[in-house]
Structure formats: C-alpha cells, structure tokens
Amino acid sequence: MSSAVDHIVPPAVAEEELFRAQVYALLARLFARAPDAAFLTALGGLAGEGGEFGAALDRLAEAARDSDPAAVEEEFTTLFIGVGGSERTPYGSFYLTGFLNEKPLAELRVAMARLGIARADGVTEPEDHIAALCEMMAGLIGGEFAPEDGDTVGLDGQRAFFDRHVGSWAGRFFADLETSPSARFYRAVGAVGRSFLAVEARAFDLAA
Amino acid sequence: MTRNAVKATDEAVKQGKDTQGTDKGLARRDLFRAAGLGVGALGAVAAGVTATGGTAEAAPAETTSTGYRETDHVRKVYEVSRF
C-alpha cells in the first residue's frame, strides 16, 4: 500500500498543494494592498478551468480588465481602511466576537508561536487580518512555517489551523465583500475567496 | 517543482496515509480538479504574486518552494535553529 501511495499520489498531490499555496498567496497579496497596474494586467489574463472556482477566476479577470489602478486603490481604501471606519473589517476577531483584539486573536498568537510565525517588523495591524492569515496558510502548505521541533505541517495540522482561524469566519467576510456597496473589483475577489474556501473545507473533509 | 515542495507534500501524504489511504488522497485530488483548481490556472499570476509580493525595501527577499514570498504581514521566527 505504501508503495502505491509513493508511486501514484505524491506528484499529483504535490501539484494540488502547490496550487492551494498559490491561491492563498494571491489572496494575501490582494488583501495586503491594492493591485498596481502591472498586477491588474496579469490578473486580466487569468483563465479559469471550470467549476465554481474557475468561473470566479474568470470574473476576477474580467473585473481586472475593466478596472483602472487609481479606482481600485480608492476602492481598497474605502473598503478596508476608510476614514472614520471602513466598510468592511477584515479581522477574524471582529467576525467571531464583534470586537477587534479579542480572544480569537490571543488564540491565534499562541498557534503562531507554536508554528514559528511572527508578525513582520513594522506591521501594526493585528495578526488576524485576512491577508496575514492567507500568508500563514500559504506558508504552512509550502513548509515555510512549521513547529520548531517538527518537520512540516501535514493536512491534519493545516486543517486544525484552518478550522479555527480561517474557515470559522473568512467565508462570511468574502460573502460580505461580494455585496459591499463600494465594492467593484473586490466583489470579484470576494467570490474567488468564498469559492476557494468552500473547496478547501470539502477537501479537508475528504482527507479526514 | 522544487525539492522542498515535493518533500513537504510527500510528508503530508505520509502523515495522512495511515488514516487517509490512497482512495481519499485521490478523491481529494479529483475534488480540486472538478472545482476548477487545476494546476496552471493561475499561470503568470502565480509568478506575479512572487514578483510583486512586496517592494524591495519593504519585504525580505525570501522566496519559498511555493513561489510564495513573505510580504508585509508575517515572517518566520526560526530562521536558523531548524537547520
């Protein structure tokens, strides 16, 4: 049995895992700051490969082609930064408790310490920002982040982190984004995030 | 595919195989494919995530096996002790 696993599964699984990490990295990039002109152009060339996620990618590509960088920058600020309160609050603690910096953030910090992850120098936002969490998922999948005494985080460990810190709220955040009054480009980003997370959750169930 | 990525996912498979088995691994792969999460769908954007992952002065130039590059939010703590 183990030889079958070794010979058949690893290359294919490795590709899927790589792709998952890339999607998380893409989401992290899009929620860390607004895409510039060059990145919008690259996004405009996306072509989905079917399914709900593929359709969402197609819509993201279309939105990228229809957007100009200055407008997306302004949209990003209104949605996530905004003077006097942004339209959306992309933090886990807020979604889970209604307030920033509550117990979910404390729990995340414990998990991060165990996995060798720290907030980057100069970053003042709490660690439960959606971009930071997507970076963490990408790093866990790629093996960049791992327990100090361990090797890499397997699917079980990824699932535990995902269920507690990402899947518990990010789907609602992405869905909210899809209906945000000021969202144009980020409406399409929300759809990509929501459909991806749905696949992630089902895939973790399959591996259980 | 770099060595590290293969190693990481090999490890994930090994850790899961006792309870997971080949069928579940394949079912998981099929699910991703059916959902349109095919490898290569991100294409140039995957490289773009790396290339534009941060400005030179803001981000450490640390590229991992996934093409993922640490951007503004988090970094690895155990730079040396693990190796």
| Residue-range domains of chain A with CATH | 2-207 (1.10.3480.10)
Give residues 24 to 83 of B whose Cβ lies within 8 Å of A. Answer: 24-29, 31-32, 34-46, 48-50, 52-53, 58, 64-78, 81-82
Task: Mark yes or no for CB contact B37/A49 under 8 Å.
Answer: yes
H-helix or E-strand spanning residue A118: strand A117-119
pLDDT band per the 50, 70, 90 thresholds, residue A78? very high
Task: Mark yes or no for CB contact B73/A48 under 8 Å.
Answer: no
- Separation between Cα atoms, residue A53 and residue A150, nearest integer Å: 33
Q: Where are the beta strands (DSSP E) in B1-83?
A: 74-76
Q: Give residue A93's pLDDT.
A: 97
**ipTM beyond cut 0.95:** no
- Separation between Cα atoms, residue B40 and residue A49, nearest integer Å: 9
Distance, in angstroms, between A117 CA and closest chain B CA?
Answer: 5
CB count, 10 Å around CB of A91?
A: 25
Q: Which residues in chain B are contacts of A23 at CB distance < 8 A?
A: 37, 42
Answer yes or no: is pLDDT of A121 > 60: yes
Answer yes or no: is pLDDT of B79 > 60: no
Q: Which residue of B has its CA nearest to A37?
A: B52
